């Protein structure tokens, strides 16, 4: 098989490599991994058949929604399916001396965003939405790179940022004179979570204990998303997908200690929604056999499939209406059709 992932050195590449190694040891499977630093590159290889599976990040959601890079008329909502993905957390980290103790306290504060990084920025939009805030309510500080944004807190160039807790620069913040503080995002705040879902429906609540300023004794409630999320095309054979997820489960003991996060590939967490795209029927069959898949999970999947179908139909209508018109006109037409499709689901 051939898989795609983020670049060499990324968590996605390391985890795909560990799983590929486990498949080789257990079944003699030969896997080639084609890394790509671009979301377009990773999706292109899937759609053209150069790779059969992708260990992706939030581009899986964006490409199924026809947003950001995938709002171009050459793309649109892609008919993708998932086999699962391990939970990864993101939260609101602040400099302790900024005295931010709730999401609402971020109002008027300096928040770090990254130029051209919708994956990170949409997560921060979701965090702000939890506290009934938007970018207009804070002082956005745009940084050219992720590393620069994460370093900005210890350098007193920003007061808060949204990121995964194991980012290396956060350990520097914890040791700096400013100190580190994570803002709790309560799992039982239903109104706050409803606002999060409006921005990014793939999030769920998660109590995190691993990362800078965190421990078993000092956990913090955060947003959980999936990275990497294991994705293939909807028309992939159900038998093949069933065999893949079964192998993923049966070799868990061979790869679950390959990195500090690999234990989270256990299917009782990795094989349940919410997630970026609908589950593949072959994966659902295996998850049902394992007693993991519930009626609530099926209801979520049915709703996600209906949303995806509505978006794909809306895309076709937008293309037809925009025929012969400029890219700018098409963007406005698609935005209107997309908003209608999302509102109906």
Average confidence (pLDDT) per 10 residues, the chain, 345 residues: 90 94 97 92 95 95 95 96 96 97 97 91 96 97 92 97 91 96 97 94 93 94 95 98 98 94 95 97 98 98 97 97 96 96 91
Strand 32-35 to strand 80-95: parallel, antiparallel, or no bridges (unpaired)? unpaired
Report the topology of domain 2-87+225-343. Answer: D-Maltodextrin-Binding Protein; domain 2 (3.40.190)
**pLDDT, position 146:** 87
CA distances from 165 to 114, 173, 261 (A): 17, 11, 12
Q: Which two tokens stand for residue 319?
A: 């293309």
Separation between Cα atoms, residue 147 and residue 345, nearest integer Å: 37
How far apart, in whole angstroms, are the C-alpha atoms of residue 327 and residue 344? 26
pLDDT for residue 345: 85
Q: How distant, in Å, are the alpha carbons of 28, 208, 315, 316 from that of 53?
A: 18, 28, 25, 26
What is the number of other CB atoms lying within 10 angstroms of the CB of residue 290? 13
What is the structure's pLDDT at 179? 97
Question: Which residues on adjacent β-strands are paired with residue 84?
Answer: 230
Domains of the chain: which residue ranges? Answer: 2-87+225-343, 88-224
- Phi first, then psi: give them for residue 84, nearest 5 degrees: 135, 180
* Distance (Å, whole) CA 175 – CA 204: 30
The pTM assigned to this predicted structure is 0.89
Q: What is the pLDDT of residue 9?
A: 78
Domains 2-87+225-343 and 88-224 share a fold: yes
How confident is the model at residue 261, as a pLDDT? 87
341: nearest Cα among 325, 324, 323, 317: 317
pLDDT for 248: 98
Residue that has been written with the tokens 């390959």 in this structure? 258
Q: What's residue 117's pLDDT?
A: 86
- What secondary structure does DSSP assign to 113-150, as a single string? EETT-HHHHHHHHHHHHHTT--GGGSEEEEESSHHHHH
Tell me the C-alpha distance between 242 and 246, whole Å: 6
The dotted CATH code for 88-224 is 3.40.190.10
Return the DSSP state at 65: H
């Amino acid at each position: 098989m051939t898989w795609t992932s983020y670049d060499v050195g990324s968590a996605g590449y390391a985890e795909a490599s560990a799983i590929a190694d486990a498949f080789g040891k257990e079944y003699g499977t030969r896997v080639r991994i084609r890394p790509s630093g671009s979301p377009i590159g990773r999706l292109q290889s899937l759609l053209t058949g150069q790779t059969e599976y992708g260990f992706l990040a939030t581009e899986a959601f964006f490409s199924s929604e026809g947003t950001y890079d995938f709002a171009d008329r050459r793309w649109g909502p892609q008919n993708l399916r998932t086999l699962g993905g391990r939970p990864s957390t993101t939260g609101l980290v602040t400099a302790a001396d900024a005295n931010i103790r709730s999401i609402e306290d971020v109002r008027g504060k300096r928040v770090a965003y990254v130029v051209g990084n919708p994956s990170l920025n949409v997560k921060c939009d979701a965090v702000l939405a939890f506290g009934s805030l938007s970018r207009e309510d804070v002082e956005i500080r745009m940084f050219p790179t992720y590393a620069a944004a994460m370093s900005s807190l210890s350098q007193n160039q920003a007061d808060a940022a949204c990121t995964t807790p194991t980012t290396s620069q956060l350990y520097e913040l914890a040791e700096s004179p400013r100190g580190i503080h994570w803002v709790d995002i309560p799992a039982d705040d239903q109104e706050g979570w409803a606002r999060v879902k409006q921005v990014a429906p793939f999030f769920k609540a998660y109590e995190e204990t691993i990362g800078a300023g965190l421990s078993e004794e000092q956990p913090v409630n955060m947003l959980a998303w999936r990275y990497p999320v294991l994705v293939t095309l909807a028309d992939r054979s159900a038998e093949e997908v069933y065999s893949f997820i079964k192998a993923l489960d049966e070799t868990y003991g061979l790869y679950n200690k390959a990195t500090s996060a690999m234990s989270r590939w256990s299917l009782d967490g990795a094989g349940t929604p919410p997630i970026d795209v609908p589950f593949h029927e072959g994966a659902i069959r295996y998850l049902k056999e394992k007693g993991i898949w519930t009626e609530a999970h099926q209801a979520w999947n049915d709703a996600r499939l209906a949303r995806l179908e509505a978006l794909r139909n809306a895309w076709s209508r937008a293309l037809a209406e925009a025929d012969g018109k400029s890219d700018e006109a098409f963007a406005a037409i698609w935005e209107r059709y997309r908003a209608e499709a999302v509102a109906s689901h």
